[in-house]
Structure 1
Amino acid sequence: MLDKIILGILTLKDEQTAYDLKKAMDRSINHFYTTSFGSIHPALVKMEKKGLVSIREEIKQGRSRKVYSIEEEGRKVFSLWLDKEMEPVKIRESSLVHIFFFGLLERESRKRIIESYLEEIEQTKKVLEALKKDYEGKDIPDRFREVAEYQMRTLDFGIDHSSFMEEWFSRFLEGEKGE
């Protein structure tokens, strides 16, 4: 998946360093797909070997840096992937693994953990809502309006998901208090 994300970002804005790519991911898809800087570089190396991206070195402010560009083969691979049917995924929610084994904990520990998790969910939701507010105030060039519309929909998904998690875990916590 990381290769498709990189190709997509390079499609939107070509000629980026690995640092630029990581920054773009952090500002855009971080609420539903996270990756480390350490995984971006190896992905770029593999993609360069496959002819999906090219690398050129440049000197900027006295420092050497690698700049990546998408190649025609990369555009084809990305376009074919983007045009494929989406596959439903199984829920992978690590908090549910915790809850699966909660019967092995004392009630006070369970409540403390859920209260802490609810605070994290609330913070995540606030960050996403702030991103949305900031994004809505931007003047989007005409050629990117449709792209921006779908990017906003992923942000809405993140906000809705956070709201669902907040509601579900609040009810769960109420059940813990009522035991």
Structure 2
Amino acid sequence: MKSYNDTTYAILGILTTECNSGYAIKQFIDRSLNHFWKISYGQIYPTLKLIVQEGLAEVRTSSNPGKPDRNEYYLTSKGIEALKSWLEQPIEQLPVERNEILLKLFFGRYQAREKTVSLLQDYKQELEGRFQTYVSIEQAIINHQDNEEDSMYWLFTLDYGKRTTKAAIDWCEVTLDTISMEGD
């Protein structure tokens, strides 16, 4: 079976939900995938075009009175098989994180200690905000999972985000404490 890039598989996966227009796909990405998988708006339509060309989805035009026609995309059996095949493949590599705070901290001896502390405090505050976002998303999923077969899997990915964010917050606290002790 032909291999595609991860963005293609992500969009195939999104098409298994009720999101079937480019706009709905973008909203879905912004509300969920964007927390762990970045897909730009500019990637969506070319990927949809490819998916249709490859026979992985078909496009239908939807008309609503008073609104412009819109294209809706629906997976074909070939598309479902391509998604299943990709899901069953082993992971090729562990994710590599590009983290600006770690890069700056790595060279931190060239920065005033107060600036390093401020940087870490700001980062910790951002992480705490992200954690609260995850908690809100979790509640929304739990409250609206009426027979939603995907909910359990969405909660798994959300749990990962919560745990890694909590670990980063803990790391900030320990690092800040260590820097404070070094300054005394």
TM range (shorter): 0.7 to 0.9
- Mind listing any 5+ residue stretches in structure 2 that lack a counterpart? 1-5
**Structure 1: which amino acid aligns with 2:173?**
S
- Ranked by relative contact order (alpha carbons within 8 Å, sequence separation 6 or more), the top structure is 1
Greater displacement, 32-41 / 148-157: 32-41
Q: Which residue of 1 aligns with 2:27?
A: 23
Rounded Cα–Cα distance in structure 2 between residues aligned with 1:157 and 1:5 = 18
CA distance in 1, matches of 2:95, 2:106: 16
The equivalent residue for 2:3 is none
Q: What is the alpha-carbon distance in structure 2 between the residues aligned to residue 59 and residue 123 of structure 1?
A: 40
Query: What is the aligned partner in structure 1 of residue 151 from structure 2?
Result: 148
Partners in 2 of 1:123 and 1:139 — Cα distance? 24
| Residues 53 and 74 in structure 1, CA contact (< 8 A), matched pair in contact too | yes
TM-score by length of 2: 0.86
CA–CA distance in structure 1, aligned partners of residues 154 and 119 of structure 2:
33
- Indicate yes or no: 2:24 matched with 1:13: no
- 2:126 pairs with one of 115, 120, 140: 120
Which moves more between the two structures, 99-108 or 149-158? 99-108
Aligned-partner SS, 1:93: coil
Match of 1:84 in 2: 89
Paired-residue identity, %: 25
Per the TM alignment, residue 59 of structure 1 is displaced from its structure 2 partner at its CA by: 3.2
> Could you say which residue in structure 2 is the equivalent of 1:52?
56
Match of 1:39 in 2: 43
In structure 2, how many angstroms separate the alpha carbons of the residues matched to 1:140 and 1:86? 31
1:100 pairs, out of 94, 99, 106, with 106
- The TM-score normalised by the length of structure 1 is 0.88
**Aligned residue identity for 2:172:** F
- Equivalent of 1:70 in 72, 75, 87: 75
Q: Distance in 2 between matches of 1:44 and 1:139?
A: 28
**Per the alignment, in what secondary structure is the counterpart of residue 63 of structure 1?**
coil
Contact kept, 8 Å, 1:19 with 1:37, in 2: the verdict is: no
CA contact (8 A) 2:145 2:151 kept: no
Matched with 2:138 is 132
Unaligned segments of structure 1, at least 5 residues: none
What amino acid maps onto 1:176 in structure 2? I
- Listed one character per residue, the Cα deviations across residues 45-73 of structure 1 (whole Å, up to 9, x for unaligned) are 22222222222333333313221111222
**Could you tell me how far apart the structure 2 residues matched to 1:34 and 1:90 are?**
13
Aligned length: 175
In the aligned structure 2, how far is the partner of 1:129 from the partner of 1:62?
A: 36
User: 1: distance between equivalents of 2:73 and 2:136?
Assistant: 31
CA distance in 1, matches of 2:159, 2:77: 32
Tell me if structure 1 keeps the 8 A contact 2:127–2:165: yes
Q: Measure the CA separation in 2 of the matches of 1:20 and 1:134.
A: 18
